[in-house]
Structures are given as C-alpha cells and as structure tokens.
Amino acid sequence: MFDTINNYKKYCNSLTKYSRYKTREVLIGDIPLGGDNPIRIQSMTTTDTMDTKATVEQTIRMVEAGCEYVRITAPSKLEAQNLENIKNELRGKGYKVPLIADIHFTPNAAEIAARIVDKVRINPGNYADRKKFQTIEYTSESYESELKRIREKFTPLVKICKEYGTAMRIGTNHGSLSDRIMSRYGDTPLGMVESALEFVRICEDLKYYDIVLSMKSSNPQVMVQAYRLLIQKMEEEGMNYPLHLGVTEAGGGEDGRIKSAVGIGCLLEDGIGDTVRVSLTEDPEYEAPIAIYLADRYKNREKHSSIEPADEIPFNPFEYQRRHTFELSGIGGHNVPRVVADYSKRIIQNPADLSDIGYFYNEATDKWNMNDSAPDILYLGKNDLPFAIPNGLQALYDYDYWLTLKNKENGNPLYSIDDYLTVKVATAGLNFISINIHCLKDEFLKKVEHDRTAILVLETDNLHGMAEQRRVFIKLIENKIKNPVIIKRRYDNLNLDQLRLFPATDFGSLLIDGFGDGVWIDYKNNLIDEEFNPNPETNVLVKRFVNIKESTEKIINRILFGILQAARVRISKTEYIACPSCGRTLFDLQITTNMIRKRTEHLKGVKIAIMGCIVNGPGEMADADYGYVGSGVGKITLYRGKDIVRRNIPSVKAVDSLIDIIKEDNNWAEPN
C-alpha cells in the first residue's frame, strides 16, 4: 500500500530535511544558473519588441527591481533582428543583464535570435507543430517519423546555440501541448514531461547540454505534478538540467500572487527550482519583488530544527488524492476544507463586526445572509460573542474559557494536549485539540484513534514548518488515524504581499497533496504597511508606505479562500486565467481584465481566460470555460471552451457578447 522512499526520492532530496535539489550549472551570459548558485529571479518585457526605446527602458526598470535575466518576445524575424539594437542600447548604458528571446512557432526567428542573445526559450508544443486540436492515431512507425521531422526542424537551432554559446530553455506549457503529444499521452503531466524530453534527447544526441527546463500550467496542481515527474524522469535518464519555475496565466493582484505562490512555493519547499518567474497581469517590474519574497525564504532554511525522517510515504506525489478522514459536523470526509476566522484578538461588539468575513445581519428580518467566502468556524479564544452566532458558523473557545460558558452547547472547546489527555469535562459535540509533531506519542495516538469527536488543529514552530506538518500527516496515516485535521500557521511582522505569499506556500503545499480539512491563520501583530510603487522621478520601484484600510481579519479570510481556490480544493469565486501580456498583446490586459472581472466576479466556479493574442492565446487557455482573445487591433474573438463562437467582434461590444454567451449556457446569475 505504501510507496517506498526510493520512489519519491527521485523528485526531491528529502521530505523532511531541506536541501536544494542539485542540477548542473548552465551559464547564461555572465550569470550562471543551477548547481550551487542562488535561485535566480527573472521576468519578461511586455513592450513591442520593435520599440527599442520602450523595451530598453522597461528592461532597466526590471533589472532595478531585481531581475537577473530578462526575456523578450521575438514573434518574427524582424523582432529577432531588433534584439541586437536592444542589446547594444542596454550594454551602452552599462546594463549587462543576460537577455532571453521568447519563441513560439518561428524557428527562423529563433535561429536569428540565438546568434544575438544569451538564451532562447522554445515551446516544444509549437516549435515544429501547428495546433489543430486533432486527435491522431499513431503507429510506432508514424510516431517515429514525426520525431524525425521534429529533429530536422530543431537541429539547426541546436547547432547555432552550440556555436554561439547560447543557452536554451525548453519550456512546456500545459495549455499548448502539440496534437501529437495530446494524442499519445493526453492532457497530462506525463504528456508535458515527454513534450520537453523529446527535444532534450535531440540536444543530447547533438552533444548540447546548456539546457533549462520548465513545466508551466495555470493549474498549480498540474504544474507541481509535472515538475516532480520531470525530475523522476530526468533521474531515470541520467539528466540533471536546471529548472525554471512558473505558474502561467496566474492573473494579477492578490489572486495572481496566491496562485503563483501555491505552485512555485510548493516546489521551492522541497528544494526544487533554480530560477523563478512570477507571471502577473501587471507591469513586469512588479513581478520581481514577488519572486524575491518567494525565493528568499529558503536562504537559511537548512538551519531548521530536525524532523524525524519518513521511511515510506503513504501518498502519491504525482496524482491528487485527499487523505481519508471521517466527517464531523461538516468537517473532514468529502467536505471541502473549512476556513477558520480568528477573532481572538478583536472584541466583537455587534453583528456588523462579522460583515468583514461575509456574514451580514438584517435587523428588520432578524436574519443573517452570508456570501460565498464566509468562514465556517469562528475562533473567539477567551472572548464572548454578545449575540447568537449565525447559522452555519461554529464558535470555538479556549477550553478554560469554554468551561465558564453558561450554554456550553453554543460553542466548542479547543484543548491543549495536556488538557485533552487529562480532561474530565468533554462535550459530546466537537472537541478541537491543538497539537504539534511532539504530541504524537503513544498515549495521545491511542486516545485519539477512537475519539469520534476529536478534530486536530495542527501547529508548528519549525522553520521548515510545511515539511514538519507533512510529517505529522504521514504519521497519522501510518497509525490509521482518520480524524480531520485543520492546518494552523502563525505569522508575525509581514507586509501585505508576504501575507499573501507565505501562507499560500505553506498551506498550498499540503493541500495539493490532499492534506488538510481546514485552514487557520493566526496573525499576531498589525500588518506592515508597505508595498512597491514606482518613484515618479526615476520610475524605479521602491517600497512605500501604504494605508491598509481593511481589517486584518477581512484580509486573512479573503487570502484563505484564495489559497483554497488556487489549490483547486474549494471553489468560491470566478476563476480568471489572464496571460501576463508581452510584445504581441493586442489590448491593455490590466484594464480589460478589471473590466471583465467587474461584470463577472459573482459567477462562482466559472473559468474565464483573457488572452492578449490569437497566436498563442487559444493554445494557452488550458481548461477555461470561456475565452476572450485579442484577434486584431480593436478586435476580439470569443471562445466557448476551445471553440470559436464570435469572431473578430469590435472590442467595445465584446464584454456584452461574452455575457450573452454565458447566459446562453445558463451559467449566468444576476449579481446580488
């Protein structure tokens, strides 16, 4: 039943002791990647590559914000040639940042760019293939002849890269796998891995090894599984290429940051990844500080307190499967993970205090309304609730305070481990027990195994906290303990971006592997009120004071629902898959995304892709229900799934038309 350690060892060094997964060093310009080098930060310009001045200025802003490599799109030979001017301008101004050309569909542009820049990125899904969304039956012979055709198209580029010392990223995107790969492997992590390895094998045959690999998806679960599988396959074939991490089309703002952190952070926690690109629908200089926050958490991670090694892992790291638990009052079992709102540091005076977390009291009708992001458990610590709790919400008190309540059935106790082991007064309802890894002794395990009222609240103080909590889950499974577990993490002294990123990493990593029946953030102090803004004189990003108007409880509640959505374990809102934009983009992605969001953000569970161009957009929309794609200047083409339903309509009418299509499908609801 259990998988042996040898099987998971191939995707990271250890599940309990932090260390970087060692890859070979690849030199990109003057800056080496992989090996023992730090995790590098990079991003991509969004300017028109033919606009040398704008591209140079944006590149400089990105470098000043922390980018160590800068990628620029080269959609045709003209743009590829103009990379020379961009490079010369930058070098003339003293910027030596290595440049990377981004190629889709155009081998001739790649062959020009490879003579100019330090690295070329190719997409194996479209370098030698045009996507027609066809399923083709291949025999072994016809598949081999396809590989031969790819080899002929790809070999000239490899030879140029070898001659000029240019590195190459073979970057698979989940949304743009070739029809050939889709026909043989389907839309799977294995298909993503094979898509890249077909090209790597050609490089190796030609004795070219300056390769970097990536496995991006807009679905963090798929992305994580693909990178893990890639490492396992590389180990099998004796390869050790550096890994570029990214979640594609993550969107912008808070959701984009959370989604990126769930995917990228999950891999970084296991020591995987040599360079990070956070992909947001915002100006690219905003991406670097986010990537730096993510990567910097691992600078001293080796110093964490030791965690008992795991000899076997009772879960499959390549496929999502929820840990089996029994259900207690809607917690655990097949229920979506529950959200705890921590009001232990805020005195609740009247019902309006709960409106921050989505509970709205109507005095006239004496009824509560709740929205889709209303939490399930309200932790009050030692505070009273001066009114009846809304239906659907469970109150949770510290055990000693709960003992003083007149109506104990109005709330549930939270025990320390000592109280739980010695307690005389327990409720027949729910008993929450605060535990950490040190509590997993025989006495506790024996008692809890038969306790059908016990919900565990799992905490950690370990610097490598996710790994310690994962170790607890492994031990619970080994001991056949099926009590639901709420994951709790404590944070202190973070700014708003860090509060979005760190819990998304810590909780997301566990949720992606099916662990956790609830999530709880305990935030100690006020949020640090700073964020990155451009200096109006230099346009360079600097940290500035920001006035946070929302309560910490409101922000944390929204972040927790965002994490559950990004990990795809609890859907509470519309999902936007927005491309980060680049030199091909045909409309202002930020403005358009906000416009679409305003009209559709109440459509829970509907996935809408907003893509800047029709060349790559449709291929990258992954599993979106609807697509809004730029198909010319002022022209939009609308998709239902992968099918075009309105072609080249004027952009001023496009959002209304999109809503009409959603209505035709009965997926529309009027906003409240």
* Contacts with ligand SF4, residue ranges (CB under 6 A): 579-582, 584-585, 611-613, 615-617, 620
CA distance 564 to 375: 12
CA distance 545 to 541: 13
Treating both helix axes as pointing N-terminal to C-terminal, what angle do 189-205 and 140-164 enclose, rounded to 10 degrees?
60
Q: 71 vs 558, which CB is nearer to ligand SF4?
A: 71
* Amino acid in the structure at residue 9: K
Q: 285 vs 620, which CB is nearer to ligand SF4?
A: 620
CB of 639 to ligand SF4, least distance (A): 13
CB of 45 to ligand SF4, least distance (A): 11
Residues contacting 114, CB < 8 A, separation 6+: 101, 120, 157, 160, 161, 164, 166, 168
What are the DSSP E strand ranges found in 484-551? 485-491, 518-523, 530-534, 541-545
What are the DSSP E strand ranges found in 501-558? 518-523, 530-534, 541-545
Among the listed residues 474, 481, 476, the one whose alpha carbon sits nearest the alpha carbon of residue 316: 474
CB of 583 to ligand SF4, least distance (A): 7
CA distance 298 to 302: 8
Maximum alpha-carbon separation in the chain: 81
Q: Which two tokens stand for residue 111?
A: 């062959």
Q: 246 vs 580, which CB is nearer to ligand SF4?
A: 580
* Amino acid in the structure at residue 436: N
Q: 436 vs 581, which CB is nearer to ligand SF4?
A: 581
CB of 47 to ligand SF4, least distance (A): 12
Residue with the shortest CB distance to ligand SF4: 612
Q: 248 vs 460, which CB is nearer to ligand SF4?
A: 248
Cα–chain center distance at 535: 29
CB of 616 to ligand SF4, least distance (A): 4
CB of 532 to ligand SF4, least distance (A): 22
CB of 71 to ligand SF4, least distance (A): 11
Residues contacting 312, CB < 8 A, separation 6+: 2, 3, 4, 5, 478
Q: 358 vs 617, which CB is nearer to ligand SF4?
A: 617
CB of 54 to ligand SF4, least distance (A): 16
Residue that the structure tokens 């594609």 belong to: 248
Q: 173 vs 373, which CB is nearer to ligand SF4?
A: 173
User: Which residue intervals of 520-650 are DSSP H helices?
Assistant: 552-566, 589-600, 617-620
Q: 498 vs 593, which CB is nearer to ligand SF4?
A: 593
CB of 612 to ligand SF4, least distance (A): 3
Among the listed residues 585, 32, 19, 531, the one whose alpha carbon sits nearest the alpha carbon of residue 253: 531
CB of 431 to ligand SF4, least distance (A): 51
Stated length of the chain: 672
Half-sphere exposure in the Cβ direction for 513 (13 Å, CA): 24
DSSP 179: H
CB of 105 to ligand SF4, least distance (A): 10
Enumerate the β-bridge partners of residue 120: 101, 168
Side-by-side strand order, sheet with 607-611: 575-578, 607-611, 626-632, 635-640, 643-650
Residue that the structure tokens 């509060």 belong to: 499
Q: 174 vs 584, which CB is nearer to ligand SF4?
A: 584
Q: Which two tokens stand for residue 198?
A: 């077909």
CB of 615 to ligand SF4, least distance (A): 6
Q: 229 vs 609, which CB is nearer to ligand SF4?
A: 609
Residues contacting 50, CB < 8 A, separation 6+: 78, 79, 82, 583
Residues contacting 162, CB < 8 A, separation 6+: 206, 207, 208
Q: Which two tokens stand for residue 135?
A: 């399923």
Q: 521 vs 622, which CB is nearer to ligand SF4?
A: 622
Contact between 481 and 515 under an 8 Å Cβ cutoff? The reply is: no
CB of 605 to ligand SF4, least distance (A): 24
Buried b (16+ CB within 10 A) or exposed e, 608-628: bbbbbbbbbbbbbbbbbbbbb
Q: 460 vs 631, which CB is nearer to ligand SF4?
A: 631
Cα–chain center distance at 7: 25
CB of 620 to ligand SF4, least distance (A): 5
Q: 252 vs 580, which CB is nearer to ligand SF4?
A: 580
Q: 195 vs 581, which CB is nearer to ligand SF4?
A: 581
